[in-house]
Amino acid sequence: MSNTKLVLTLVLALVLGFGGGYLAQMVGGDSDISDLSNKVDAIGEEISSLQARVSKMPDDFASFASVEEVSSLKSSFDQLEQKVEQTGVGVSGEDVADLQSKVRDLESQVSELETTGGSADGSGLRVGYVNATDAFNVFTEAVAEEREAAQKKNEELTQLREQAIQGEITEEEFNKQSDILQAEKLKAQLAIDLAMVEKMMSAPGFESISDRLEQLKGQVDPIMTELNGVLGNMREGSAAPEEVAQTLQQINSQYQQLDNLLTQLIESKIFQITNREANNQGYDLVFRQENVILYRNSEKVDNLTEATKQVLRSEIGG
């Protein structure tokens, strides 16, 4: 049982005991004893009913209220108890009426907690998850043409190796063509990132990160220019193999850094949209699926991946 539920249960138990003890002493003086006794009995029944309702709430009571909320209930009854102790017997009907009002207030607050918490099975705590890797596919789909070009370069490299193994081309020819294909593949990979950056820059949903996108594009453009120059020299045969290898290694390192930055930027956008949509839909917790969720109850934990992808497609204009 959670601390919150335990506190509220104890509050009700104390109040019920208080009703059976102090309330019995309150009846006296010039008041109509029979009428006040009936009211006291009615109050006791109401508190017993509240106890029953609280007992049906799940042990995960944190979804209904905080400990502070329940503690405030206890505080109100502490004040009432002090009043009765100070007044003693001979309390008027007005005091009983005041107690009735406080019990009604307690009943209202318990009802509010039940409503806030949702159903009695604890489903009021809304939990979801997003597969960020799957959501990332929205961006790769947006540059499908560039990705296809890069894939073709991979296939050409594979065919070239097979030709070399079969002895269809010399080792010198293999090395020359392989260097060119590696450079063309690197250019195709840079083209993917550049196309993705430009796609986001022109999309209405990415104004908040436009400055960072401009910075990335400013870094990709000079690398692409340098790579085109190297490729031209390689095709003409005017570039020394050692210089080519060193230059391509440097460009590949720069590409890897830029690609990582772009990946981080895209992930931050995915999480930004997830947070916004989850808040709008009233979710309490949303997890990232990868390496986090080991088990989920599909009836209580929602997969928000597709909804996130739909929003991403809308914002990127794809």
Both 90 and 155 in one domain: the answer is no
Using CA atoms in the order 95, 98, 100, 102, what is the torsion angle rounded to 10 degrees?
A: -140
Both 109 and 80 in one domain: the answer is yes
Both 174 and 311 in one domain: the answer is yes
Both 118 and 37 in one domain: the answer is yes
Both 166 and 191 in one domain: the answer is yes
Both 94 and 135 in one domain: the answer is no
Q: Which domain holds residue 66?
A: 3-124
Cα gap 73→314, rounded to integer Å: 48
In the listed set 78, 101, 124, which residue is the last one of a domain according to the structure?
124
Q: Whole-model pTM?
A: 0.59
Both 165 and 299 in one domain: the answer is yes
Both 170 and 41 in one domain: the answer is no
Instruction: Work out the percent of the chain whose per-residue pLDDT is above 90.
Output: 43
pLDDT, tens digit (0-9, with 9 covering 90-100), for 141-173:
999 999 999 999 999 999 999 999 999 999 989
Q: How confident is the model at residue 124 (pLDDT cuts 50, 70, 90)?
A: low
Both 92 and 223 in one domain: the answer is no
Both 135 and 74 in one domain: the answer is no
Number of domains observed in the structure of the chain: 2
